[in-house]
Amino acid sequence: MELKNLIKSKNLNTKITLRNPIVMAPMTTFSANEDGTVSDAELSYYKKRAKEVGMVITATTYVAPSGKGFQGEFAAYNKSFLPSLRKLAETIKGEGALAILQIFHAGRMALPDEIPGGQPISASAVAAERPGAVVPKEMTEAEIQELIKAFSETTKLAIEAGFDGVEIHGANTYLLQQFISPHSNRREDFWGGSRDKRRNFPLAVIAEVKKTVKEKGAENFIVGYRFSPEEIENPGITLEDTLSFVDILADQGLSYLHASLMNFWQSSIRDAKETSPVINKLIDQIHGRVPFIGVGAINTPEDALKALESGVDLVALGREIIIEPDWTSKIQLGKASEIRTKLNKNDREVLSVPVPLWNAIVNTPGWFPIEE
């Protein structure tokens, strides 16, 4: 496979074409305005990166006030946020990329100081295994139904704001994953008790989002789903659980699936005997039924080519697209050798990275490769 494959257009389906298979991965910016609207700094950050990639998946936004998972996270839970969301969609699409709004609820990972009443909610009253974790309140049937509707309402906002699609965030230990996990879901009703029942909540959210898209007549609107293959908790989600769930997800009429991995080629984080790459097992299980996005420590064009050769349809760049917003254009201009793979501490303004995100990067050792 040659470098030109990284700048060739790619069909997501028969009606949707991306200008290239490179996706900007969803990464929180910690940089929204106090009122939950998208800040000008965030708009500049997306504008600089959207001019190169095929698709931008935004930082995740919360579908209900109880779901805020980060300081400085922008919101999308009622019509008051529509002008803000519209600006974001227009900024990304104005640069030629497809604009995907990632939507979620943090569940037990919500920040008590940032949510009404300070009481996180989840599938069951089981605290996360992390320092200072708060025991969440077990959600009632009414609250579950309300939240399914909240995902639908945020999808409506995304359609009205002009986004090309939404990505349902079912990964990274947040609420949808909390329902799937035997660690956080100890229920014995329709929403838990067996592996199949623990999947009912995410499947209900997917069905409701798809129904909303249909009712709004949003033809060609993209609905993606992101998942984490495993959890380190015991009991927790195993790779076997995920392969079985992915088998179901691949038949849900989704536009794509997106694995959340730290490293594209990583093996199991639960089972040391399992040494083959998780991604290969996922590709085999999906078996071409739905487009699949791979991600994780892809830095150079060679990394991306190798990833595409594995059988994924699209490749998402996270940290690398922050370090090098011109990643694709340098390939296009025959300057692939000039692609930066380390962050220079003096380049914040040049790279249009919002100050809170920049501070998080430079003050978190080992997160980004940084040259002094």
Active site residues: 174
Q: Kind of pairing, strands 137-138 and 121-122?
A: parallel
Residue pair 111/68 in contact by the 8 Å Cβ criterion: yes
Distance between CA 60 and CA 77 in Å, rounded?
Answer: 12
Residue labelled with tokens 């990394």 = 303
Neighbours of 345 (CB within 10 A): 11
Question: Which residues pair with residue 153 across a beta bridge?
Answer: none
Specify the 3-state DSSP secondary structure of 23. Answer: strand
Instruction: State the DSSP H helix or E strand holding residue 331, giving kind and residue range, or none if neither.
Output: helix 327-332
Alpha-carbon distances of 141 from 147, 189, 190, rounded to whole Å: 10, 10, 9
β-strand 17-18 against 10-11: which pairing, if any?
A: antiparallel
Place of tokens 């249009």: 352
